[in-house]
Structure 1
Amino acid sequence: MDKSSKLYNKALEKYNKGYIDKAEEICEKSISLNINNSASINLKGLLYYINGDLDNCRKLWKMNFQINKDRVSDKYLQDTKDDQKLLELYNTALILIKELKINEALILLRQCEKSHFNYINVNNNLALCYIKKGNYIKALEHLDNVLKADNKNKIALESKKNLRKYNCTKRQINLKNISLTAICVFLVFGIGILIKINSANISKSLKSSKNKIMTSIHKKNSDSDKTKSNTDNVALNKQNNEEKSEKSKNEVFPYNEIKKHIDEKDFNKIHNDLIKWNNKDLSINEKSLLGQGKDLINSAGGEYFYNKGYEFLTKGDHNNTRVYLERAYEYGNGKWYYPHAIYLLGTTYQNLGDMENAIRYYSSYDNRFNNDEYEEIVLYNLALLYKNIDMNKAKAYGKKLVKSFPESIYNNTNIQNLIAK
């Protein structure tokens, strides 16, 4: 066996073990020793193919067929005729992901998944989509697919590291549980509304009764002597003291109730407990319990709120999206979902017509995460949002987009016309 063939076998071994960069390097050496080594040429073409480099793999296989009359290369070339369409679908899916149209992107990526073309990029982006949907087990499957082919793939390794870091690798969102949770939330909000309505009616009734009493007392004060007036005032003061005493009873720290919220990991109720009792004068045991609630919601509550916000976003419910993402933002600093929450808050406020807050969150993203995945569309949105507010800032963001991402799809006529003004 000649040296070129030995190198091919070594390259094939590296490829099968997931060392594709090393396999490509060895293939290059094999081909340089023997340009007629069809197997090495085909393998190098295959490495380009799974990395999504359609032009270079076709060039290699075409050369192999022309020089060596290799029928395998010819078969590969024939099979790539449909791959151009898959590349277009993949590029469209990337745009949809940036626009947070995850379900639509998944449809296209699943079509791309049927071919081995662009295998690594397709699986990485499928994993990204499933992470955004909270389906971490499915995401892990696609990351494992990538690492079997390229065990040093930086994107997959980083994604898997984040999943492990935040204990997501063994968690799967159960649709049945989501439905039950949604029903429970609906009932809680429904009961809350009824209570609020009844409380308002009771308050209105009490206010009306109190006004009548005050009017009666005032009339009696005018017609009665001083002693009678003092008697009435004493009675009124007694009534006010009783009301204050009753109100004081209602403000007793509900220790067992809050403990139940913590035990059941009811993050919505824990959030409300913290708002209500955080600055109150509490006993040591009460402060300790409230501290447990803070620790729990800081460690796991933010991700719950992010997933709920994203769930509402997919349904087009921008108001509930805003509520839950604001909570994710409050508790999520330093967590994997934090930049996603900031960007989504920007788009949510933009959809709600609140441009001031949209700019606030987009600017925060640009200042803190300008190397992350949404930076292109953030700069684009900031440029267009500022167009009718501050043209200098609009141009600055437009120029930053062009400079940082010259090949971006968002570097379009809207940006070019804005900069030219």
Structure 2
Amino acid sequence: MDSYNKIIRVSNALYNDGLEKAKVRDLSGAIQSLRKSLQYYKANTQARNLLGLIYYEMGEVVDALSEWVLSRSLEPKGNPAEKYLEEIQSNRSQLNAVNQTIKKYNQALLYCQQDSRDLAIIQLKKVLSMNPGLVKGYQLLALLYMEEGKYELARKELWAATEIDTNNGTTLRYLREVNICLQESHSKLGRKEKEESASYQSGNDTIIQPTNFKDNSAVMTILNLVIGVGIGVLITCFLVIPGIQQNAVSQAKKAELEANDSLTTRNQEIKSLENQIQELEKQIKEQENDSKDAQKIVDSYEQLIVAYDAFAQQNIQGAGDTIANVDPKLLGTQAKAIYDSLNTQVNEQYINAVYAQAEQDYRSNRFPEAVTGLEKVVQAEEDYNDGYAIYYLAQSYRQTGDMENAQKYYQRMVELHPGTSRARRSQQYLDEMAAQQPQ
């Protein structure tokens, strides 16, 4: 029991630590503490409910639902998880939004694998507009911006993620990389501007102009205009028109991808949900087995305490009846020692007390009660009191009409004590019962 109570205390301490971290929006740290709490004691529904709320806050709705379903199965009555599940299930628009979020996020991942960063960015923006708390969505969008060198946009997304989860390790690592890249970019830009500028003195004024400045004449100006027009025509022919064609091709590919998007995402969603259902069923089964084992341990300790109390009050029969329900394999070292000592002291006195009561019931014609007591005595010591226990048991069964058991114990009487008057009477009863049986 000390070990069991210690495990409960450790689990509750980790739950309290997770609650404190959640209050300051250190959601990642809170998740770690709550998971450790559940490793110590899986049936800690407070920790499981709080973990579900944190997952929901971070946009991980499926993980939140999983924790609440497990919590409800462990504690069906008076559990706040029931209210959380009802609120989500009753709001069809919210459920649809969750499904769309999962679908679009998976599609964004698929675009990333296909190196279609532009389409992935568009998809992630839709995801975050539907689920503004999805931390991993901000992280993936920032990573795409970093790949394209758009560090300011990446930093903006990462700051949005830190407002939800202040101490997320992945977010902080990305943010540090972005700040380093921005510092390097600013220093390079400063050097370039310095190199591309020149200055000269005009009276008391300093004039700054680009180093490549040229003072073109009128002829050069006209020539430049002609060249510019020619270049514009060439750009139109070689860049703009192919660009329009390329854009049309890109739009066609995009339409094709969107046409296949529904089928691909649906298959992925179905597979993901099937895996989640299997995992939930496995966890529920483990929780049920753990709960049953824990209940067996508690029941054995309770039966041992009741038996000890009965023995202390000189209720030997009550102590013997109760200690028979104790499973010594489930007891700790100290409790096992108490059980062995108590069982040794109770056993002999218990048989004597049970037999005395059963014999009194037999002589008072209370045969069903006599059967109950004598069965206990014979099971513990078959030839108790020189075979009288067997003989009285056979007689009691015959009086209650149970001829099958009566015949069984008359036969044992004849085998164990041949030549005695009880054996001869037993044989007479056996012969009578044999004669009454149909041929």
Q: TM-score range with shorter-chain normalisation?
A: 0.3 to 0.5
Structure exhibiting the larger radius of gyration computed from Cα positions: 2
TM-score by length of structure 2 reads: 0.34
